[in-house]
Amino acid sequence: MSFTRVILGKGKATRTGLKSSVGLLSPSGIATKRCQSRLFSSSSSEDDKYIEPRTKVPTFHFQDSLPRLPIPKLEDTCRRYLDAQKPLLTPEQYEDTKQLVEKFQKREAPGLHAELIQKDKRNKHTSYIAGPWYDMYLEARDSVVLNYNPFLMFKDDPVAENNNQVVRATNMIKSAMRFKLSLDDLFLEPDIFHLNPKSSDTQWFRNIIRFVPRQLSWYGAFLVKAFPLDMSQYSRLFCSTRIPELKKDKLATFETGRHILVMRKGNFYVFDTITTDGNIVPTATIYQNLKYIIEDSTPAPNFPVAALTSENRDSWASMRHALEAIPGNEEVLKLIDSAVFVLCLDDHDVSSIADVARTFLHGDGRNRWFDKSFQLIICNDGKAAVHFEHAWGDGVAVLRFFNEVYKDTTTRPACTPATAQNFNAQATARKLDFKLNPEIERGISAAKEEFDKTVNGLDIAELQFHTYGKDYIKSKKLSPDAIMQLAIQ
């Protein structure tokens, strides 16, 4: 029996643009995608195109000068290993372990350490842990559901009527596209940890640091106790997916994707959200597409292909190859893989925290595509969350996106129930259909059965803790993330 505890507290992050009590996630280094920059205009249409005013400091201004993760000394690694083992072992067991470590440190370890240093020198574009990080996730054969994919839940829109499912989905799509175009055009403020915000989180700092060469910019920020963060994982936030393969999955990004995938009752729909000239499609068109999808009377399929994404990775890889062998399915999969993101429209309300956790952590397994970089899930009552696949990165890019989208949808909504009454656009959404054979149908049935068995064995317990939050923990020179992990254990 598995247990999940949800611990809620007060506090806010100290990174630029990150002010949320959602969670604490750690960054990791991955290869950077260079984005094409366009000229900026201050016109109202340009303001509507981006999620925030043009940053004075280009998005990836600090990327080339980020300090590399150092490899610890061999003796320090061995010592830390023994320190970690000591509380867990009896004195006799610890002494045996210590002798084994000392032998290892003298014999095999020096050669392995030298090999690691040489490998690190050959891969100066990333860190020495990046390869093992990817291998850890992509070689894992367990289902990504429950085992790896987390979620972040949005607060309700403070304007109650804007929590209407179609209205909220329209606003979130619009804000998500603003975020994407801000990122693509390098107008997104860089992620910076400000140790002394009064001196560095200022226009004065931005005006100066933008003229410091990229190769030196990180060190210029460091002088005023500002610490730019690695933003390389943003390259896989949109138009990206995990593709199942036997033994080891792969990650794929499609830079030309202009459409989103919408799922409802296990059915698939696509429509463009970005025009051919790089602008966001009209709000009325987005709204009408969603309205068309929700009003579509197509029943849930008897064999929902999406259930396969919840399977053991090798099983899903075999089924995907079987799908691709049938004419027409490969094109459908390409449209799913290359979508900017997935929007899952659920047809039920959520009330309790247990309902929230079950809906956004796994759902029914039929109305999710668990391989996509992230899924935006919106329930019938407007409750919403981001559910993301973990292999491409951790929570830094997702949390920034999450907070910016919530802020944008609530401070300048593109749509309200009142304005929607005047929309007169034609729906352009089209339904996608897979062709199946008996082998694939059996695979889907097996996936549904295994999914239901797994989630029915999950118990969810809740603890709401209001005594203090992460700001208090930080004031005591402790790690909020460490306290959270200890509480869970």
pLDDT in tens, 225-251: 999 999 999 999 999 999 999 999 999
Q: What is the pLDDT of residue 25?
A: 30
Work out the angle at residue 345's Cα, subtended by the Cα atoms of residues 344 and 348, and round it to the nearest 5 degrees. 125
Whether 29 shows a pLDDT value over 50: the answer reads: no
Q: How far is CA 142 from CA 138, 248, 312, 394, 450, in A?
A: 10, 11, 5, 18, 12
Mean pLDDT, rounded, for 435-454: 98
Boundaries of every domain in the chain:
74-126, 142-185+235-457
19 neighbors 225 (Cβ within 8 angstroms): no
Q: What share of the chain is helix, strand, coil (3-state, %, to 5)?
A: 45, 15, 45
Burial class of residue 67 (count of CB atoms within 10 Å of its CB; 0-12, 13-18, 19+)? exposed
Bridge partners of 251, per DSSP, are 242
CATH number attached to the domain at 142-185+235-457: 3.30.559.70
Q: What is the pLDDT of residue 488?
A: 83
H/E stretch holding 399: helix 395-411
For the chain, give the mean pLDDT: 90
Question: Higher pLDDT residue, 19 or 329?
Answer: 329
CA 133 – CA 136 distance, rounded (Å)? 5
CA 141 – CA 163 distance, rounded (Å)? 38
Place of tokens 């062709």: 435
Predicted TM-score (pTM) of this structure:
0.87
Q: Where residue 464 falls among pLDDT bands split at 50, 70, 90?
A: confident
Q: Where residue 31 falls among pLDDT bands split at 50, 70, 90?
A: very low
Question: Higher pLDDT residue, 489 or 388?
Answer: 388
Q: What is the pLDDT of residue 3?
A: 38
**How many other CB atoms are there within 10 angstroms of residue 367's CB atom?**
22
264 neighbors 296 (Cβ within 8 angstroms): yes
131 neighbors 108 (Cβ within 8 angstroms): no
Per-residue pLDDT tens digits for 364-409? 999 999 999 999 999 999 999 999 999 998 889 999 999 999 999 9
Q: Which residues are known catalytic residues?
A: 390
Q: What is the pLDDT of residue 394?
A: 83
Nearest to 9 by CA among 23, 29, 25: 23
